[in-house]
Each structure stands twice: as structure tokens, then as C-alpha cells.
Amino acid sequence: MQTKIVSKNFEIPHAETLAVALQNGRYASLEKLFTFTPQELIDIIKASGLRGKGGGGAPAGAKWQLVSDFEGKKYLVVNADESEPGTFKDRQILAKDPHLLIEGMICTCYAIGSNTSYVYVRGEYEEFSNILQVAIDEAYEKNLLGIDAKYPVEITIHRGAGAYICGEKSALLESLEGNRGHPRLKPKSPEPEFYFGEPTLVNNVETIASVPFIVENGAEAYTACGTDCSPGTLLFAISGHVEKPGVYEAQFGVGMWDYIQELGGGVKGGKKLKAVIPGGASTPILPAHLVYEARLDYESLKTIGSALGTGGMIVLDEDASMVKALKNLLRFYHHESCGQCTPCREGTSWVDKTLDKFIAKTATHEDLEILKSVSKSMNGKTICVFAPAASGVIEGFLKHFESEFLECIQ
């Protein structure tokens, strides 16, 4: 069931060192790279259908084009903030195959015409960013990076310091500029991001790590995997009540239940499945009967009222309390709201506190109504989609498991 494109070298001992990386095909795409013009390369990425793997699934090629169309100084920023609960895939690339990321960054910089790039790594990942730093140093030494490289690229690691919201791309750039991580207002028409006023491409670690394969093997090799609308593979992650939690790469479109059973080893202790949060904590929960028919791609999860998100599945068994699970997530949202927008700052606090009453079984019907109406108000005008996502999470729990909330009413 696994298809290894990005994770091909994960099991190879010392694949994080340049010597072993080179023996196992790293930097091979660079030979092909320079036979293409930058625009040809962007066209290949467009043809491959590569979609952003940070949660949104935006087509990568179109984003690259936006940045490439600008003249002058541009930047590539790789998003390694990875703070979405249930998500731990990018860290595998940083720790197990950092040269794949560096190779992808060189390809991407060449395509968009940038020579300066940053990797924004969440502060907690010190161990993994250190591994990446060693790999970067090695690449500089061998002139794969730096001014003496065939195509000069500078890579600087920038460490975050504990703020979930800095994964949102505009907050990330604020943080990279030396500010608090506050998301920016979104432009009305498609625009790239801007770093100190210069056009900037922000892509997820895994998106960039998928690029060398496409450069080397062509767009068709990529579209041969996955579905029509979601080509290729994803480093799906699985945690919670399963026998074998971990990260296993698979093609888009595989069955969620098959994945849980074959790769996740099934529900822990042979218990029955109750629900799955399919793609990181911000995606609406799916009850078992929908899990059985769910496919792991953007479109099919959308049709059943959820989203693929980061592909990080959290599995809950028959004994899990949905009230406790929602409380856990709302505490997270309350804690992580950046505080700029009133509906988000006040709303996340309010729903979190309301859930305490359900936990204590002292809730009233009015509390349930409050939960619903506050949740609705969070899905309105906010600067970023953090609050709407929280609202969707609440809605999902109430839609499928309202009876458990009713049981907590006095």
C-alpha cells in the first residue's frame, strides 16, 4: 500500500549525510534541472498537478508562476512550522533526508528566479533543525549551495519559538521579519506573499521535497500516482488509538479504512472504531460509518463534509469520549489564538469554558445553544482561517455526536 517517492531514503542508515545521500540519488535532479529554462520547469510543475502539502492543497505551479512573473529580488520560504496537532511528517524529511529538501529548494529557487531562501522551523524541532543545518553546511562545502554553485542559492534556517499561528504563511513572514506572528489581511486578488516588500513563495517542506522526483522523472511519472485532481502521494500520518502510529507515504485516493488497517495496524487492542479526525486537528471529525467509505484525497473528503488537511489522521476508538476530545481541541484553539480578531479571541475562550460544563456534566440546554451560536460567530469575519477552522471542528462534533453532549446536560 505504500508508495515511496518522498520517503524513499527514510530507512537508509545515515541518509542525512551527504555521502550516503549522493549514493542514493540525491542531487541527481540537478543534472536535468539546468537543461530546462525556469519557465519550462514551472510548466512541468503545473503539468504534474503538484498540490501544496501544508494543508490547503493549493496548486504549486500557479503559485510559482505568480512569484516568477515579478522582476527583481524574490524569496523562497519553506514552511517547517508543523504545529497542526496530529501532524508530524515534515520532521521526518528534516531528520531523515534533509538533502532532499535542499535539492528541492535549489530546483524551486531556479524556477522562480530566487537566490535567497529560508526554512522556518518550529522552535521545538531543535534536534531536527540541527540535522538540517549540518546537511546545509555540507552542501555549502561541496558548492551545491552558495555563490560558487552552478545556480547560487543561500539557505538560512530561521527558528520559530512556540506559536502555532506562525504556520499560517503571512504570520510566518511577519515572524521572519522580526515581528509578533500576526497573520496579515488577505489581498482580494491572487498575489504572492511578500517578505520585506519583495515577492515571496511560501511552500510546505513536503511540497518542496516532492519537486526533485518530478524534475527527474517528468510530470507524467507523478500524475501516474494518485487521482486526477490529487496526483501523487502524501506522507500521511496516523496517531491516536492505532497499533502502529507513524508516517507512511501513500498515493492519494487510497481508502482511509484500508490505510488504518494495513499501515496503522488497525484500532488499538482490537477495539471498534468510533471516529477519525482525518487531516490534523483543524479538520472536521468523521464517524466510523463515513470512515469506511472515505478516500484519502482532497475531493472525496470534501464531499463527506471534512477535509484532507495535512493528512495527519487521529483515530478514536469506541471508548473515547467525544466531549473530552472536543474539550481538548478547544483548549488548544483557545491557547493558540493570536488575539487579533475579537470573534476569535473571545470566541475560542468562550467555547473552551463552555465545554468545562459539559465535562462536569453541569451543562444546560442554553450552554449547548451558546456553543452553537459562538461557533457560528467565529466563522465570520476574521483575518485568517484559524477561527473558521475551529468553528468547523465544533460543528463536526455536534453534527455527528450531539447525543454525547446531550448526555452531559443536567
The H or E element that residue 126 is part of is: helix 126-141
Q: Which does 55 bind (CB under 5 to 8 A by kind): ligand FMN, other proteins, ligand SF4, none?
A: ligand FMN
> Which lies closer to ligand SF4 via its Cβ, residue 165 or residue 209?
165
Minimum Å gap between C-beta 282 and ligand SF4 is 11
Site string for ligand FMN, 4-43 (x = CB under 6 A): ----------------------------------------
From edge to edge, which strands make up the β-sheet containing 193-195?
Answer: 154-159, 116-121, 75-80, 198-204, 193-195
Binding residue for ligand FMN (CB under 6 A) from 16, 82, 97, 174? 82
Interactions with other proteins, residue window 262-291 (CB under 8 A)? 277, 281
Count of residues in contact with other proteins, rule CB under 8 A: 57
Give the angle 224-228-230 at the CA atoms, nearest 5°.
Answer: 90
The DSSP bridge pattern shows strands 75-80 and 154-159 to be unpaired
Select from 116-124, 207-215, 352-360, 383-391 the region that touches ligand SF4 (CB under 6 A). 383-391
Binding residue for ligand SF4 (CB under 6 A) from 201, 387, 394, 408? 387
State the alpha helices, DSSP H only, in 321-385: 322-336, 342-359, 365-378
Instruction: Tell me if residue 158 falls in helix, strand or coil.
Output: strand
Nearest to 276 by CA among 300, 244, 301: 301
Cα separation of 103 and 96, whole Å?
Answer: 14
- Report the 10 Å Cβ neighbour count for 158: 15
Binding residue for ligand FMN (CB under 6 A) from 118, 350, 386, 401? 386
DSSP state of 253: T
Question: Which residue type is seen at 358?
Answer: F
Binding residue for ligand FMN (CB under 6 A) from 3, 108, 207, 233? 207
Q: Look-up: residue for cell 452553537? A: 372
For position 368 contacting ligand FMN by CB under 6 A, the verdict is no
For position 243 contacting other proteins by CB under 8 A, the verdict is no
> Which lies closer to other proteins via its Cβ, residue 43 or residue 198?
198
- CB-based contact 132:118 (threshold 8 Å): no
DSSP state of 81: -
Q: Which does 257 bind (CB under 5 to 8 A by kind): ligand FMN, ligand SF4, other proteins, none?
A: none
For position 67 contacting ligand SF4 by CB under 6 A, the verdict is no
Helices and strands of the chain, counted as H and E runs: 18, 10
- CB-based contact 167:79 (threshold 8 Å): yes
For position 246 contacting other proteins by CB under 8 A, the verdict is yes
Q: Which residues sit at the interface with other proteins, rule CB under 8 A?
A: 73, 82-88, 90-91, 122-127, 154, 156, 158-164, 175-181, 195-196, 198, 237-241, 245-247, 277, 281, 312, 314, 316, 320, 324-325, 328-329, 331-332, 335-336
Q: Which residues sit at the interface with ligand SF4, rule CB under 6 A?
A: 165, 183, 337-341, 344-345, 382-384, 386-387
